[in-house]
A = this chain, B = another copy of it.
Amino acid sequence: MKFEEAKRQFIQTWGTLGSEWGINRTMAQVHALLLIAPQPLSTDEIMEELQISRGNANMSLRDLVNWTLIRKELNPGERKEYFVAEKDIWEVARRIATERKRREIEPVKKILTQLKTVEGDQKKAEIKEFTQMMGQLGNFVGKMDKSVDMMMKADENWFFGTLLKLMK
């Protein structure tokens, strides 16, 4: 396969994967482009390569910076901003996990805790079932949460090494 084709396909694949997991397709494509860029890219280069508008490029880049998946890089004596991606995939995974935990898991955890305290007679099947399920979910989410904390601190080889050794 030719390089240009491979690049096109990678960007497309990454975009699709992103949108399947609730991440805006264009943002994932910009990320893909920066992941394989050997040097920092400017907004104009990204617009050109992905054929997107300035507004869209700016927004995607801002979001990626907020996710800490990319950072701005400035050349001395030049106004233009360039962007570089974090290229260590384990680090990328950790940042995504951390961010999604903070934005999505923590709020759910808090709500589940509240919902466990629902008023009503535990002898009613409805209430019993509800309380039990909130308990199970709260417990599970708590464990997931702890697992992410662990991943955040861990080194890749150690993490997968330990995990996969347990499999045998």
Contact = CB atoms under 8 A, between A and B. Distances in A.
A138 B104 CA distance: 27
A134 interface: yes
Interface in A133-168: 133-134, 136-137, 139-140, 143, 146-147, 149-150, 153, 160, 162-164, 166-167
Contacts of A111: 9-10, 13
Given A10-B111, A17-B104, 18 more contacts: A1-B114, A2-B119, A2-B120, A3-B127, A6-B130, A10-B130, A10-B134, A21-B22, A36-B130, A89-B136, A89-B137, A89-B139, A89-B140, A90-B140, A146-B164, A147-B160, A153-B167, A162-B166
Nearest to A115: B6
Interface in A75-97: 87-90, 93
Determine how many copies of this chain the complex contains.
2
Give the interface SS of chain A, mostly helix, strand, loop or mixed.
helix
A163 B137 contact: no
Contacts of A22: 19-22
6 contacts: A10-B134, A87-B133, A89-B139, A149-B167, A150-B163, A150-B167
A3 B35 contact: no
